[in-house]
Chains A and B, each alone.
Chain A
């Protein structure tokens, strides 16, 4: 710590150069934070997906519906605990940019299937007692200011009511929270019996996909095979896969997200490496004489190396902390703007730790060559350059 003042003063030597380098590092780590949040939003659900849940969808495309009669047959398959279904409603609340998911479900089985959804018992009871009742996640409720008792009109782009209208009205009977930070609390769920009875003929008796709870997660692949075998050669063949893979599949439609994010960040950090490396190399070159003086008065080669590395790491860690801090600060505001597109937008703690580690590694890498240069300086030669 007694060298801290010397290190800090050397860093402030050329304020403009240091400031610009620091700014570039801050921007790099801000980008790192935001991209990490995007990646988490798109594929983070994979980690939270239930290991004991499988998704059954129509083999050709999820757009194609499955008969509701499949439920009983699925429940009889060995290894299946129970199953339930959901259907894509595709509704719009006031404006298309207000998008959030709304799906008809079987309330009791749905809540049993998804223990990560926390709904107070009295609200569950109200839902079961109200055919037009709907529960909505806390994020969407707060976004639109909905309260229990509100009637909300949702215009479906797919489903039509008998009177020809596409605007469905639901009664908000419950607001649910997520058990984990990563649980999506943007969707709205309403009763399938109301939906199926009210919708026009097209699609009646059909559902979008099934979710299965299996008895033994280690048997997931075998149970999936059995389910698909059950409906092989039927008019609606199925594709059954673990929930995590299903979520991954959605994200993959945008491309290999992980690869894209890694590629962008690699390019950014490589650039920062060059910028910071140049800054440190210049800093050491300009101080050849001073380093010679330090060695003359007794600083060892190791101490000189440590001084240079410490300066480099201080610069990069400072930039990293500020960039990540800024990302963390603005993420809620960005999340609010992207609520419809990326409901689970947040900066995971894991990304913060990785970012800090990267900032330290950046400092070490950019500082090592100038440090070695400083170490190799011959004192007598260096003093001549003063």
Chain B
């Protein structure tokens, strides 16, 4: 796996990217000739109506999908030429994901869920435990480490999800509707946490949301509609 290529340019570069989904005989153009630059340390919100391509764009940046055309460059790495195997290894090192529905393993405790990304590293058991404890402490859930997801509230589960996303100290944190399944109070706690990670720990965060209340927490908000960005980079 290539090491992060240091440069003074943006952390994330999306250049003339298009994404087409083929559904039977129909072609669905989700993204069209899209450009985006995200500097390191930014907290960016991507807003847009349902079906606008927000999650698709997030997936492309996170290496979960490949563009139909164009290029995605993250931390100096062109993602498209990477094989599936290399892309998986790249994700493990550089990307932390936070999902709308938390996506925790129900059969694992909170600490074991947080540990999952570390299983892909060469850290010893003791070192992994230390990282997990740190991550849980950051999200304020040290006292719930041994609990299973089913005994945690929605907000607590999402905090475990965030802990899992940051435990490897990734280059970029991608959040897909992180407050979408939470009430206002729990959602605010999550947004506070994300802001803290950005301001105090310098984490670069791209958050997809349809909630204006969440987007104001970000430093910059871009709108995605019919596969194109507005209030953002000019194509």
Residues of A within 8 A of B (CB): 2-3, 5-6, 9-10, 12-13, 289-290, 293-303, 378-380, 383, 386
Known A-B contacts A300-B89, A379-B65; A294 and B116 likewise in contact (beta carbons under 8 Å): yes
* Contact pick for B88, options A6, A289, A300, CB 8 Å: A300
Q: How far is the CA of A346 from the CA of B206 in the complex (A)?
A: 68
Q: Which of A294, A296, A379 has the most CB of B within 10 A?
A: A296
A5 neighbours in B (Cβ, 8 Å): 108, 112
Check A298–B92 contact: CB distance below 8 A. Answer: yes
Check B125–A2 contact: CB distance below 8 A. Answer: yes
Known A-B contacts A2-B125, A12-B107, A290-B103; A298 and B93 likewise in contact (beta carbons under 8 Å): yes
Interface residues as binary, B97-128 with A (CB distance below 8 Å gives 1, 0 otherwise)? 10101010111100010001101100001000
Known A-B contacts A2-B125, A380-B65; A298 and B91 likewise in contact (beta carbons under 8 Å): yes
Which 7 pairs, one residue from A and one from B, show the smallest C-beta to C-beta distance?
A298-B92, A9-B107, A300-B88, A379-B64, A293-B103, A298-B91, A380-B65
Check A296–B62 contact: CB distance below 8 A. Answer: yes
Known A-B contacts A2-B119, A10-B107; A298 and B88 likewise in contact (beta carbons under 8 Å): yes
Check A386–B99 contact: CB distance below 8 A. Answer: yes
Report if B164 contacts A (CB, 8 A). yes
Nearest chain A residue, comparing its CB with the CB of B161: A293
A299 neighbours in B (Cβ, 8 Å): 88, 92, 120
A-B contact count (CB 8 A): 73
Check B89–A296 contact: CB distance below 8 A. Answer: no
Nearest chain B residue, comparing its CB with the CB of A293: B103
Report if B84 contacts A (CB, 8 A). yes
A6 neighbours in B (Cβ, 8 Å): 105, 108, 112, 116, 119
Report if B85 contacts A (CB, 8 A). yes
Report if B59 contacts A (CB, 8 A). yes
* Contact pick for B92, options A12, A290, A297, A380, CB 8 Å: A297
* Contact pick for A289, options B59, B64, B91, B103, CB 8 Å: B103
Interface SS majority for chain B = helix
Check B120–A380 contact: CB distance below 8 A. Answer: no
* Contact pick for B85, options A301, A383, A386, CB 8 Å: A301
B62 neighbours in A (Cβ, 8 Å): 296
Check A296–B91 contact: CB distance below 8 A. Answer: yes
- Residues of chain B in range 157-194 having any CB-CB distance to chain A below 8 Å: 164
Q: How far is the CA of A60 from the CA of B30 in the complex (A)?
A: 88
Check B84–A293 contact: CB distance below 8 A. Answer: no
What is the minimal beta-carbon distance from A374 to any residue of chain B, in angstroms?
13
Check A3–B107 contact: CB distance below 8 A. Answer: no
Nearest chain B residue, comparing its CB with the CB of A302: B85
* Contact pick for A383, options B92, B103, B125, B164, CB 8 Å: B103
Interface residues as binary, B62-98 with A (CB distance below 8 Å gives 1, 0 otherwise)? 1011000000000000000000110011111101010
Q: How far is the CA of A383 from the CA of B107 in the complex (A)?
A: 18
B97 neighbours in A (Cβ, 8 Å): 293, 296-297
10 pairs from A and B in contact (CB 8 Å cutoff):
A6-B112, A13-B107, A294-B116, A296-B64, A297-B92, A298-B91, A298-B95, A301-B88, A379-B59, A383-B103
Known A-B contacts A9-B108, A296-B64, A379-B65; A301 and B84 likewise in contact (beta carbons under 8 Å): yes
Nearest chain A residue, comparing its CB with the CB of B85: A300
B101 neighbours in A (Cβ, 8 Å): 386
What is the minimal beta-carbon distance from B54 to any residue of chain A, in angstroms?
13
